[in-house]
Copies of this chain bind each other. A is one copy, B any other.
Amino acid sequence: MIIFEDVYYNQFKMMMGRDKTSLLQFIHDTVPVSQQKAVEIADRFQEKTIAKNEFLLQEGKVCKEFHLLDAGFVWSYTHDVNGDDVTTNFYSNKQVVCEMFSFFKQQPTKENFQALTDCSTWFISFADLQIAFHSMPEFREFGRSMLVTAYADLKQRMLSMVQDTAEERYNLLIHSSPDIFQNAPLKYIASYLGVTSTSLSRIRKEISKR
């Protein structure tokens, strides 16, 4: 409430950086490690902010950073044979934002990662990650767990494409990630679900009738 205090607090934050509580929590949720080891892992991460519409990664470039999204929304997409965008994923909350193939193989990616809103992240560079992997077994476990989780999520999504109707996939998404619908245009969501935006519109109409 008192202006002076706010000014000091903001200066304090500027110097100290954002606090790493959420990052530490994420590490604990990912691998079983002591508080001390979690802090050691978290120390390797730096903060970054990304303005709406900016890119974290662009097609043809090599992914050099592994991000944990602290606030904001990101989408990733690639192009199909006709040159149309196809959404590969949405990221929110405390999710990992990283094109695993390009990052771990250090080869050019086919995907684009773009901020849907202003974002703040914790990130580590590939070079720093390699160093940390080499010196800390706990960090290796953390890295492996990221990959395995991404793999399992992708498999679940692939199975959903095989087994579920477009409407079922829509319902799964709106229940698991309702905030995406506040932050991404429906046409991005349509291509994520594997339908045209025309069909998505009709699916929504059908559901709203009931």
In the assembled complex, the CB of A32 is this many whole angstroms from the nearest CB of chain B, namely 12
- A154 part of interface (Cβ distance < 8 Å): yes
Copies of the protein in its oligomer? 2
Which of A67-75, A157-165, A199-207 is found at the contact surface with chain B?
A: A157-165
Distance in angstroms between the alpha carbons of A81 and B164 in the assembled complex? 10
Most buried by B among A101, A154, A155: A155
Distance in angstroms between the alpha carbons of A158 and B104 in the assembled complex? 20
Question: Which of B104, B137, B148, B163 makes the CB contact (< 8 A) with A81?
Answer: B163
B104 contacts A148, C-beta separation under 8 Å: yes
A-B complex: 8 closest residue pairs judged by Cβ atoms: A162-B194, A161-B161, A101-B152, A158-B158, A80-B163, A104-B148, A147-B147, A151-B151
Beyond A78-B159, A151-B151, A162-B191: 16 further Cβ-contacts under 8 Å? A80-B163, A81-B163, A86-B159, A100-B152, A101-B148, A101-B151, A104-B144, A104-B148, A105-B148, A133-B140, A147-B147, A147-B151, A151-B154, A154-B154, A157-B158, A158-B161
Distance in angstroms between the alpha carbons of A150 and B148 in the assembled complex? 10
Distance in angstroms between the alpha carbons of A148 and B109 in the assembled complex? 13
- Tally chain A residues at the interface, Cβ within 8 Å: 30
Q: Find chain B residues with CB under 8 A from A104 CB.
A: 144-145, 148
- A209 part of interface (Cβ distance < 8 Å): no
B161 contacts A100, C-beta separation under 8 Å: no
Distance in angstroms between the alpha carbons of A114 and B72 in the assembled complex? 44
B148 contacts A148, C-beta separation under 8 Å: no
- Per-residue contact bits, chain A 126-144, to B (CB 8 Å; 1 contact, 0 not): 0000000110010010001
Which residue of B is nearest A152, CB measured? B101
- Per-residue contact bits, chain A 155-186, to B (CB 8 Å; 1 contact, 0 not): 10111011100000000000000000000000
Q: Find chain B residues with CB under 8 A from A152 CB.
A: 100-101
Distance in angstroms between the alpha carbons of A88 and B80 in the assembled complex? 23
Q: Find chain B residues with CB under 8 A from A81 CB.
A: 163
B137 contacts A137, C-beta separation under 8 Å: no
